């Protein structure tokens, strides 16, 4: 399976792109330091917010992220507190829909 790598140069549309993106656990508000690492089921460890939840080794996109402090799982998108709401299921369905 070919997986396109995440393009870190792409940006989300944010109200003020000059302000730093606020990333913290939606349940306990823990802010992951740049040294925090998550491990994919393929065994690769990396900082998940550098790639918006996509493992750079195998390409798996993690829809949920576990907090290192409270250990609760939350939708990955919910960690980004200055982005508009996204319906991941709707996006996935539209990507999987056959072309007409």
What digits encode the pLDDT tens for the residues 85-98?
Answer: 667 677 666 656 56
Tell me whether residue 9 is in a domain: no
Q: Would residue 79 count as lying in a domain?
A: yes
Say yes or no to pLDDT of 4 above 60: no
- Tens digits of residue pLDDT in 38-75: 999 999 999 999 999 999 999 999 999 999 999 999 99
Whether 64 is in a domain gets the answer yes
Q: pLDDT band at 9, cuts 50/70/90?
A: very low
Tell me if 82 is assigned to some domain: yes
Domain membership of residue 6 (yes or no) is: no
Does some domain include residue 51? yes
Q: Which domain holds residue 59?
A: 38-96
The domain total for the chain is 1
Residue 11 lies in a domain: no
Q: How confident is the model at residue 21 (pLDDT cuts 50, 70, 90)?
A: confident
DSSP string across the chain: ---PPP-TT-----S-TTSPPPB--TTT-----TT--EE-TTS-EE-GGGTTTB-TTT--B-SEEE-TTT--EEEGGGGBTTS----HHHHHHHHHSPP-
């Amino acid at each position: 399976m070919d997986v396109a790598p995440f393009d870190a140069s792409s940006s989300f549309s944010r109200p003020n792109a000059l302000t730093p993106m606020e990333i913290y656990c939606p349940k306990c508000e823990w802010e992951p330091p740049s040294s925090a690492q998550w491990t994919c089921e393929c065994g690769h460890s990396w900082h998940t917010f550098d790639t918006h939840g996509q493992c750079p080794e195998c390409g798996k996109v993690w829809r949920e992220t576990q907090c290192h402090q409270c250990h609760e799982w939350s939708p990955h998108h919910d960690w980004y507190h200055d982005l508009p709401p996204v319906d991941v299921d709707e996006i996935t369905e539209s990507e999987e829909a056959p072309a007409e």
